[in-house]
Amino acid sequence: MDAVALPWDFRPLDGERVRLTALRQSDLDPLYAMQSDPDVCRYLLYEPRSRDQVVDVLARDAGALRLENAGDYLQPAIRDREGRFLGTMYLELHSVEDRTAEIGWILLPEHQGHGYAQEAATVLLDLCFGELGLHRVYAELDPRNTASVALCTRLGMREEGLFREHMWLKGEWTDTGHHAILEREWAARR
Ligand SMILES: CC(C)(COP(=O)(O)OP(=O)(O)OC[C@H]1O[C@@H](n2cnc3c(N)ncnc32)[C@H](O)[C@@H]1OP(=O)(O)O)[C@@H](O)C(=O)NCCC(=O)NCCS
């Protein structure tokens, strides 16, 4: 079994059309537009955020730049080649021993439907299964979030489970779907 290559300090990562870079203070306006949008937040764990909340979140997430221990996460911005903010990716180290991480994605509405999340996720999965030496990456989502389910499917993530009425969220019992891909499955696709 290969050792996991940790700690890992964030550096910009490039896809064909997208670049993942650390969040910066100048991202406040588009980040607020995204995280305050009720449609964007519909299937997220949080309610639409106020500008003050996004200021705090930005200060916290801009500094999340190292993966070393379980619970460490990255929240890079997805940008196009001109540097325009498109959305954010999420990668959280779930277990070092089991070499497992969770992945997530959010795009501004005007940048959905162009394949940018798929490309950004591909960049992160290449990192996970390449340099980081992880074994398994999973995503958890509301099964009603069809755009996110479709993205998991396009990435080759298997739907492994459905937790019925797993959470009391936003005034209702909510299901959680669990999708995952293993290192060897990703290697076979690439
Ligand atoms: C989930 C989310 C990131 C998916 O965004 P998306 O743009 O649909 O995802 P992708 O990057 O995979 O793009 C796929 C779409 O781009 C289209 N596309 C256009 N050009 C493309 C290209 N060059 N390559 C790939 N797809 C392309 C695809 O046909 C597809 O469109 P369709 O859904 O109409 O068939 C987005 O819906 C979102 O931000 N939702 C709100 C936040 C959220 O719920 N996040 C997930 C929580 S679990």
Res. 1: pLDDT tops 60: no
Q: Report pLDDT digits (tens) over 119-175.
A: 999 999 999 999 999 999 999 999 999 999 999 999 999 999 999 999 999 999 999
Higher pLDDT, 4 or 140: 140
- Closest approach atom of ligand 1 to CA 42: 44
Res. 3: pLDDT tops 90: no
Pick the residue whose CA is nearest to atom 30 on ligand 1. 113
What is the model's pLDDT at position 170? 96
Q: Report pLDDT digits (tens) over 33-74.
A: 999 999 999 999 999 999 999 999 999 999 999 999 999 999
What is the model's pLDDT at position 5? 87
Average pLDDT over residues 7-31: 97
Diameter of the chain measured on Cα atoms: 46
What spacing in Å lies between the alpha carbon of 1 and ligand 1's midpoint? Answer: 34
Pick the residue whose CA is nearest to atom 10 on ligand 1. 115
Which of 112, 119, 144 to mutate for ligand 1's pocket (most ligand atoms within 8 Å of CB)? 112
What is the model's pLDDT at position 79? 98
What is the model's pLDDT at position 189? 95
3-state secondary structure the chain: CCCCCCCEECCCEECCCEEEECCCHHHHHHHHHHHCCHHHHCCCCCCCCCHHHHHHHHHHHCCCCEECCCCCEECCEEEECCCCEEEEEEEEEEECCCCEEEEEEEECHHHCCCCHHHHHHHHHHHHHHCCCCCCEEEEEECCCCHHHHHHHHHHCCEEEEEEEEEEEECCEEEEEEEEEEEHHHHHHHC
The domain locations on the chain are 8-139
Res. 87: pLDDT tops 70: yes
Pick the residue whose CA is nearest to atom 13 on ligand 1. 115
Res. 2: pLDDT tops 70: no
CATH architecture of 8-139: 3-Layer(aba) Sandwich (3.40)
Ligand 1 surroundings by CB, under 6 angstroms: 40, 43-44, 104-107, 112-118, 141, 145, 147-148, 150-151, 154
